[in-house]
Amino acid sequence: MPFLSGVYVTYKKVKGFQPLQITWGNIIVDALFRRGTAHSNHGNDVQKSLKRVVDLIRKYYRKDVPIILTCDSGFLDEKNLHYFNTILRICFICFGKLYDYIKDYVSSVPFENYKEYIKGKMIWHYLEFGNKMKSWKKVGFLRTIFTKALCDENGQMILDIVRPDSIIYTNIGRNQQLTESLKRVGHEELCSCEKIIETAHMRGSNELTNRSLKDLMITEKVPFKRFGMNTAYYYLMAISHSLFECYKEDVVRNADIPTISITCYPSTFRRRLIDFACQVVSSGNKIALQLMEGVYQSINAEKLWQLCHSEDLIPIPL
């Protein structure tokens, strides 16, 4: 038995936990803390979590709003894709695994059938076709896009033998009702192969959210022996991270602070907006927060406080 309850060897061959997280931009909107052996498609975790999020969006925003889900190859499973497409009625863009029969097919296609996609300094060649796994019974042929990167983000060409290949599956263009909903709201460009590839690659920004969460927690190690206590600790950190991102978006962005970027990590944020010397003093029936003149100006304290909207404590420079 592992010393810590819930700690088992993960797919990365190390002992730990494997939480399921749904992110929207920089915010973790739903999370489920799980033991280390819980793989991506463990039980019905994915379906239940997504149903909660989709129901909230359609209840509090709009019932017919089109929703696009991006996910990695760990979630490419027939039960997931069928649930996304038929039950939740959402668009999905999911990476897949490059099986031998796919490699044989794309290798047999003439080079002139490939198209080129350019984003910044990066260049990809891509091929669009229809595909389905042999074991799929409920899910038919999906729109499939094979991509091959020709150069990296710096424009450096990559040797053919080490070029990263990827395969993308989507129901955009196959599910007519969902495709029409995208066009109806003025996002017909999302139906193009180029936009599908771009949207799929944006999933990499989710890793920055995970890194930001770890930075906020300072360490990846949870402090307790019992699974329940570690679960509570993880959820508090996820909530704290969401509050941190909302504060940056709603307050710091509008405060026009030149010394800090809205995309900064928690360590930078703490160093510049939290870890500074100050003093709370009471005088003339008023409470004031005294700051050094340099700090007062560098963090635009007056504007920052106005956005926090508190009249009980007034910041003043020394």
Q: pLDDT (tens digit, 9 = 90+) per residue, 79-89?
A: 999 999 999 99
Q: What is the pLDDT of residues 145-200, one digit of tens each?
A: 999 988 877 888 887 777 788 999 999 999 999 999 999 999 999 999 999 999 99
d(CA 20, CA 32): 5
d(CA 169, CA 143): 6
Q: What is the pTM of this model?
A: 0.85
What φ, ψ does residue 138 adopt, rounded to 5°?
A: -90, -20
Q: Are 35 and 18 in contact (CB under 8 A)?
A: yes
d(CA 315, CA 290): 6
- Residues contacting 230, CB < 8 A, separation 6+: 4, 5, 6, 17, 33, 222, 223, 224
- Within the chain, strands assigned E span 8-9, 15-16, 20-24, 27-32, 68-71, 91-96, 115-119, 122-131, 142-149, 165-170, 278-283, 286-291, 313-317
Q: What is the pLDDT of residues 102-160, one digit of tens each?
A: 999 999 999 899 999 988 888 899 999 999 888 888 898 999 999 998 887 788 888 77
Q: Which two tokens stand for residue 29?
A: 């909107």
